[in-house]
Structure 1
């Protein structure tokens, strides 16, 4: 299974470069084709010849090295990669990736790849814990970049703390996991809605909800990892969109989200409605700020379009997945939504349960299908919940 796979390894400059030699050797023993790109700093620790001997492929280092093939080098390697590993990854390289800087062969190739990127940091403890480095790491995680946590121990500088490059065994294990992710949704087109909607009252005020978009963005990211072409329709969030989206449509109001879903419906086979869409909007919008007075203020509200209900009426053979975030009568409300909205299944969660509400990284869900079958799941990371949902979607697509 692995002999037809290609891993491109980016090696940036740090004392842990020697461990990358072991990683290359282990991957080669598994039959994986390995290509190595080194930064100029990395070549000061280990020579390119070492990696060339271990990988049995020539090593790329400088932007203007002697041409070995007539391919555009960084584009060629970017396309070859099934997984792009960066080990060791310095604070400098992580910062470059986050800020989109492409000023050497390694950073340029990373910018050009559509393969999953796995980053193994290695640096001094104080550097690793620096708020700027942590911000860069967390932001890249939100974009879909994957990380292998560094280990704690005595560092080359003599300090003791977190920052050691993970062991070669751990790195290879994570690479193999990524190579074995089944592309079972390849060629499938999926709409995912995410986040809250915002309904304006006047230029200063609006009605919204507590949704952060984490669940929807996790679904979009995992669907991409499994090969799907994903259109993400998102209300306002603070989350960076995942890499390699087919399309990103940013909206604010429920009406804008409704239009965006219908505009993209024909080109997609699946609609996963994870957004928390406002049920009501102000009947009248004031172009001027509503001034405070001594009287109470009443705002008349109108119903918004029920997007899932409208899609359910016209979906034909498309798969429609709904969500039910409730505080009471969870099962009854969710079952009613499945019937009323012509859903294939619904993902229900109790907002009052610890670890299942808005803004957290976990969820506790029950999935209810058209026949009323209820499947309960324990508390899981939202990425894991996303894959449970996508497993059910994949099964329906292959019926």
Structure 2
């Protein structure tokens, strides 16, 4: 029998889908979403990670499912509980997230891919096999290496998928934010980039709200003002679906 929490979540998800979107404009389509942070081990106890909760990606997955899409969620170890209605694979490291994503893409064409996760950009080159003793080691030097760029691997593995990437910055102007987003597009790594500045109140990590600047390859910018992450997800899906059907 399903737990009370899962039943409540299923009811909330169903009611939200009925209230926020009567459309079924993604029926017959497959959608893949990555969400949450990843962790990279320093030793078996300590990790490098970030403050991503996974809420934005989960909201996108819920919205896509409510609009009729066959939806898959690749979720890192964030603080959010995945919806029982969406097929979910839990991962920890960036490498695991990449492997799970590529495995799903190989199973069949996905019309839309939302790379909403915040994977760690670096990992220790030589993680310790045992917990580092703070009594013996007062200073620890870490050599870090870059982790794989998941959006590039997605583009290479599934070039026909409409790919929406996410770009997070901190303490930049709107113009700088758009410029950074456009760099991803100019590298042909995505079809749209949704960018935000997590230094702003109510935006980004661990909040229930978000604000996005959605940029396309012509540097056209659509601003999604601060709103609940589910409402932001609905507006982002509206933009992506319109582009998908052009």
Q: TM-score, normalised by structure 2?
A: 0.89
Matched pairs, number: 238
Q: Is the 8 A contact 1:326 1:350 kept in 2?
A: yes
The residue correspondences of 1:371-382 to structure 2 (distance < 5 A) are 371-382=218-229
The residue correspondences of 1:194-213 to structure 2 (distance < 5 A) are 194-213=35-54
The residue correspondences of 1:114-153 to structure 2 (distance < 5 A) are 143-146=9-12
- For 1:289, the equivalent position in structure 2 comes to 131
- For 1:312, the equivalent position in structure 2 comes to 155
Establish whether residue 397 from structure 1 lines up as the match of residue 239 from structure 2: no
- Runs (4+) off by over 3 Å: 174-180
The residue correspondences of 1:23-38 to structure 2 (distance < 5 A) are none
* 2-structure distance, mates of 1:345, 1:324: 10
Q: TM-score, normalised by structure 1?
A: 0.56
Aligned-CA RMSD value = 2.3
TM-aligned CA deviation for residue 371 of structure 1: 1.1
* 2-structure distance, mates of 1:254, 1:227: 29
Task: Name which one, 1 or 2, has greater alpha-carbon Rg.
Answer: 1
Question: Which of 1 and 2 has higher RCO (CA within 8 Å, sep 6+)?
Answer: 2
TM-aligned CA deviation for residue 340 of structure 1: 2.0
Establish whether residue 279 from structure 1 lines up as the match of residue 145 from structure 2: no
> What residue ranges of structure 1 are gaps of 5+ in the alignment?
1-95, 100-135, 148-173
> What residue ranges of structure 2 are gaps of 5+ in the alignment?
none
Q: 1:354 to 1:348 in 2, by over 3 A?
A: same
* 2-structure distance, mates of 1:211, 1:228: 25
- For 1:345, the equivalent position in structure 2 comes to 192
1:54-100 alpha-carbon deviations (Å, 9 max, x no partner) = xxxxxxxxxxxxxxxxxxxxxxxxxxxxxxxxxxxxxxxxxx9753x
1:287-325 alpha-carbon deviations (Å, 9 max, x no partner) = 111122464211001110000012223432211110011
TM-aligned CA deviation for residue 178 of structure 1: 4.3
TM-aligned CA deviation for residue 334 of structure 1: 1.0
Q: 1:182 to 1:287 in 2, by over 3 A?
A: same
Q: Is the 8 A contact 2:102 2:157 kept in 1?
A: no
